[in-house]
Amino acid sequence: MIDITVNGQNHSVAATDINNVAIELSIKPPFAVALNGDFISKDEYHTQVNSGDSLEFLSPIQGG
Amino acid sequence: MSDTWSIYGTELQSRFLIGSALYPSPTIMQESIRQSGSQVVTLSLRRQSPQSKEGQAFWQMIKDLGLHLLPNTAGCHTIKEAVTLAKMSREIFGTDWIKLELIGDEYNLQPDPIELVKATEILLNEGFKVLPYCTDDLVICRHLVELGCQVLMPWGAPIGTGKGLLNEYALSAIRDRFNDTTLIIDAGLGVPSHATKALELGYDGVLLNSAVAEAQNPEVMAQAFAKAIEAGRLGYLAGQMPEKNMASASTPTLGMPFWHQE
C-alpha cells in the first residue's frame, strides 16, 4: 500500500498507477488528471504513482 | 442583415456569451441558456464529489445544448495552476479555447495583469486560443495583442457586482486602439442596458452570468439581455448622431404660428 493524496484527501491505495487509482477509488469519468500539479493526459494514465504523490481528478462543473 | 463575428475564426451570429453557474436549478440553467440564444457557454473543472452525480448530470445537460464550450480557469492564482487547468480543460472539453482567469486580489477578484500576460504567452505557445479576462488597462491589452491574442475580454466591473461599465473612457480607448481585435466585455454587467452600452461602444460581444442567473426570473432576463445586445449592436452600426452642448430644435421653425410674429 502507498499513501497518496487524491483531491486533497489522504488515501492508502494498493494501486500503483493512475488508471488503477481511479478504479480503486471509484472515480467516475469524465475527468482530467493532474499529478503533483502537472497535467497528465489520458494516454499517460499508466504513469506510476508513488507514496507522497498528490493526484487531482477534475470533472466538469458550472462556470461563469 | 448578415452581421456575424468570430472568435479565432469560428463564425458566430449571437454576440451573447453566457455562463452556466449560479442558477436556481439545472433546468432553469438550461432553459435560460436556450432563451439567451447564445452560441457559447462557459464552464469549469473542479474536484469530483464521489457521492454526487450532479456533475455528470450537469455535463450531460450542457452537451445537450450543443453549444461551443468556453472553459475557464476561474479561481487560479498562479501561472502553474492556470496552465495546468487549461490543459486539463482542453482534454476533457475537446476545445483549445480557454477563458484565462488569473486572479490577483481576493477583494475584487481583479485579474493579475502581469501574471496574466506571462500565462497567456505560455498557453499561446502551447497552441491554445486564449481569451484573457483582463482589466481595462490599455497597455496590458497591448501586450496581450502583441503576444498574438485575437480576442480580449476586459471587465466592465468586478465579477458579480452588476455595476455595469465603470470606465467607459478606458473601454472606448481599447476599442479605438485595437480595431482588428475581437473585444468582449466580460463581467460586471447587471442590467440589459449595460450590455447595450457595451455594444454601442463597438464591443463585439458580452459575456455574463450573474446578471441572468441571479435575476428574479433568469429565463426572461436572458431574453432581455439578448434583445439589449441586438439593440446595442444595431445602434453601433447605425452610427450615433453628433452630440451637442446646446439645444437644437427638431421641429422646423419655418411657418411658425402668429404669436412669434408680434
pLDDT tens profile B179-194: 999 999 999 999 999 9
Domains, chain A, ranges and CATH?
2-58 (3.10.20.30)
ipTM above 0.90, yes or no: yes
Q: Which three cell numbers stand for residue B30?
A: 438550461
Q: What is the mean pLDDT of residues B108-127?
A: 97
Residues with pLDDT less than 50, chain A: none
**pLDDT value at position B214?**
98
Give the A:B interface size as CB pairs under 8 Å: 94
The kind and range of the H/E element at A40 are strand A38-40
**pLDDT value at position B2?**
83
Q: Which long-range contacts (CB under 8 A, 24 or more apart) does B126-129 make?
A: B126/B83, B126/B86, B126/B87, B127/B96, B128/B86, B128/B90, B128/B96, B128/B97, B128/B98, B129/B7, B129/B8, B129/B96, B129/B97, B129/B98
Domains, chain B, ranges and CATH?
5-239 (3.20.20.70)
Given a cut of 70, whether residue B36 has pLDDT beyond it is: yes
- What is the pLDDT confidence band of residue B258, given thresholds at 50, 70 and 90? confident
Pairing label, strands B10-12, B40-47: unpaired
The question of whether B197 is a catalytic residue gets the answer: no
Q: What is the mean pLDDT of residues B147-155?
A: 98
Select from B81, B92, B209 the Cβ nearest to the Cβ of A30.
Answer: B92
Q: What is the mean pLDDT of residues B58-83?
A: 97
Active-site option among B53, B99, B118, B227 = B99
A residues 3-62 near B, CB within 8 Å? Answer: 7-8, 25-28, 30-34, 37-39, 41-42, 56-62
Closest chain A residue by Cα to residue B63: A60
Given a cut of 60, whether residue B262 has pLDDT beyond it is: no
With beta carbons under 8 A apart, name residues in chain B contacting A60. 43-45, 55, 58-59, 62, 92-93
The burial of B111, by beta-carbon neighbours within 10 Å (0-12 exposed, 13-18 middle, 19 or more buried), is given as buried
With beta carbons under 8 A apart, name residues in chain A contacting B20. 62-64
